[in-house]
Amino acid sequence: MSKTPGLNNLQGAKLMDKIVSLAKRRGFVFQSSEIYGGLNGCWDYGPMGVELLNNIKQQWWKEMTYRENVEGIDAAILMHPRVWEASGHVENFTDPMVDCKQCKARFRLDVLFEDLSIKKKKEILRQLDSQKYAGQQQDDVINEDFEKIVSNDQEAAKLVKYISCPNCGNKGTFTDARKFNLMFKTYVGPVEDSSAVVYLRPETAQGIFVNFMNVLMSSRQKLPFGIAQIGKAFRNEINTKNFLFRTREFEQMEMQFFCKPGTDEEHFAYWRKERMEWFINLGMKKDKLRWHQHPKEKLAHYAKDAYDIEYEFPFGWGEIEGIHNRTDYDLGRHEQYSGKNLKYYDEETKEKFTPYVIETSAGASRSFMAFLVDAYHEEEAPTAEGDMETRVVLKFHPKLAPIKIAVFPLVNRENMPEIARKIEADLRQHFRVFYDDNGAIGRRYRRQDEIGTPYCITVDSQTLEDQTVTVRDRDTMHQVRISMSKLKEYFTEKLL
C-alpha cells in the first residue's frame, strides 16, 4: 500500500482515529466481542453501520443483477474440500511469514518492510551492494530499488536478518520464512480427523464456478452472461490492520461473467468502466480513485490481465475492487477435479468450449470503509448564536445514507410534537426516518450531520398557520419551506 502524498503518517493516523472513534460513538462499527477485550480482525456493524452496509450491498445488487444477462445466487459458505484443491487455494493461498524466536510474535514478511525509514533502507541496500550504494542517492531511487527487492518473496526473506522485531526490538531473531495458508479450517460432523476437514470460504467466487452448469440450465441463459453473489468470506490474515481494510471476516460482492474466448477483452474493458462508474455515481470523489494494473510478472496464476480500483485512504492507496480476466482456468480446473462436464455448447456454431471468465470482485466491508472515509468532512459552520464552530458531517450519497430524513418539532409544545409525529409516521412507510425532540435545534442538526442524514424537517410556529415545514439540506445547510402534503412527493424525487 503506497502512502497518501497529501497527508503524512501522523496526519493520516489522526484522521483515521477520528473516523474510527466517530464510527463507534455513532453506532457504525464496534470491535467484535469488545467486552471480552475484542477479537482481532473482526468487527460488528451497529445500527447505523448495518444500514450503510445494507445500502451498499443493495445498490451493488441492483446495479449488477437487474440486467437481462446477470443472475444472482447465494451459495453455502462451507463447500466440498476438493473445491479448494481445484481452485489452487490449498496450494497457493499462502503468505510467507516469519516468527520472532525471542518474543514469539508472527509477522507477514512484507509487513516487516512497510514502515522502514529511508535511512534504514539505505543501510540495508549498502549491506547488499556496498559499491553501488556507497555514495549519495536520491530517496526515490532508494525507495524504488528497495521496493523491487522486497516485492520478491525469496529476496525479501534474505533481508530479515537486518531487521529488528517490531514487537520486542531484537535483531537477528527471526526464523526462516515459511508458508502460511490463510484458509480457516474446521470439521464437518463429530470426528475431527483429516477426512472431515472443510474450509470457511476465502472468496465467494468458487460458489459461482461450481454452480455454473446449474445456473446455465435452470435460467436458460446463453453466453455471455454473469452470475453474481454477495456473501461472507474468511481469511486468517496474519496481520490485520487499518480498521476494516484487512480483516479476518469480511463480505465480498463478486460477479463472474462467462464469455466466449476471444471476446474476453471486450467484456473486460466494459466491466472495468462499469465498476469504476458505480463508485463515482454513488458519490465517491473521482480524484480519490485510480486504476492499478497488475504488472505481467505479478499476475495471479490464473489471470491474463488484472486491474484494481484503488481508493486513497488516509493511510495510503489501497485496493477496493479487483477486475480480473481469469481465462478458462476456473471452469477448466473444476472440470478436471470433479470429472463433470463444464463446457458450453453453442447451438448456433455447434462449438463446445470452456468459457472465459471476467471477474469483478469488490469488498463490501472495504467499500463501506471507503464510502465512510470519503463522506467524512470537517467544516466551519455558524451556530444559532452566530459564532463559528467545526461541524463534522458525513456527506453520504442519499442512496447510501443510513437515515434519510429526521423530523423535529422546534419546541415541545403548541401541538408541534403531534404534527411532527404525524409527519414521521407518514414518511416512515416509505423512508428510513428518525424522530428527535431532544435539545436545541442546532444540536439536533449536528447530530444528524454526524450520521449523514441528508434532510431534516422542522415543524415550527409557521407550520401551525400554513401547514408548511422547513426542510434543511445537509450539505448546503439551506432551508426551504415545503407544504406538509407535498413531503412524500418531494422526498420520492430526491431519495428514490
Residues of the shown chain interacting with ligand GAP in the complex, contacts defined by CB under 6 A:
203, 205, 235, 237, 246-247, 250, 252, 254, 319-322, 359, 361-363, 365-366
In the block, residue with C-alpha cell 474440500:
81
Residue nearer to ligand GAP on the CB measure, 63 or 237: 237
Residue nearer to ligand GAP on the CB measure, 89 or 122: 89
Residue nearer to ligand GAP on the CB measure, 250 or 376: 250
CB 229 within 8 A of CB 73: yes
Residue 107 C-beta: closest distance to ligand GAP, Å = 16
* 245 SS3 class: coil
Residue 250 C-beta: closest distance to ligand GAP, Å = 4
What spatial distance separates the first Cα and last Cα of the chain, rounded to whole Å? Answer: 37
Q: How far is CA 414 from CA 143, 420, 437, 444, in A?
A: 68, 11, 13, 19
Residue closest to ligand GAP (Cβ):
363
Residue 204 C-beta: closest distance to ligand GAP, Å = 7
206 Cβ partners below 8 Å, 6+ apart?
A: 79, 83, 84, 87, 330
Residue 256 C-beta: closest distance to ligand GAP, Å = 9
Residue nearer to ligand GAP on the CB measure, 202 or 409: 202
Residue nearer to ligand GAP on the CB measure, 122 or 235: 235
DSSP of 90-133: HHH-EEEEEEBTTT--EEEGGGGGTT--HHHHHHHHHHH-TTTT
Residue nearer to ligand GAP on the CB measure, 65 or 137: 65
Residue 237 C-beta: closest distance to ligand GAP, Å = 5
Residue 358 C-beta: closest distance to ligand GAP, Å = 12
Residue 196 C-beta: closest distance to ligand GAP, Å = 26
Alpha-carbon span 68 to 277, nearest angstrom:
19
Residue 365 C-beta: closest distance to ligand GAP, Å = 5
Residue nearer to ligand GAP on the CB measure, 247 or 468: 247
Alpha-carbon span 17 to 3, nearest angstrom:
17
* 225 SS3 class: strand
Residue 111 C-beta: closest distance to ligand GAP, Å = 13
Q: How far is CA 52 from CA 207, 253, 264, 371, 401, in A?
A: 26, 15, 34, 9, 6
Residue nearer to ligand GAP on the CB measure, 87 or 453: 87
Q: How far is CA 240 from CA 147, 235, 357, 393, 482, in A?
A: 21, 10, 30, 28, 49
CB 402 within 8 A of CB 372: no
Alpha-carbon span 192 to 434, nearest angstrom:
50
Q: How far is CA 227 from CA 9, 69, 276, in A?
A: 41, 9, 19
Sign of CA dihedral 364, 370, 372, 375: negative
Residue nearer to ligand GAP on the CB measure, 58 or 467: 58
Residue nearer to ligand GAP on the CB measure, 247 or 448: 247
CB 251 within 8 A of CB 375: no
Q: How far is CA 306 from CA 165, 299, 320, 332, 424, in A?
A: 34, 7, 13, 19, 48
Residue nearer to ligand GAP on the CB measure, 329 or 408: 329
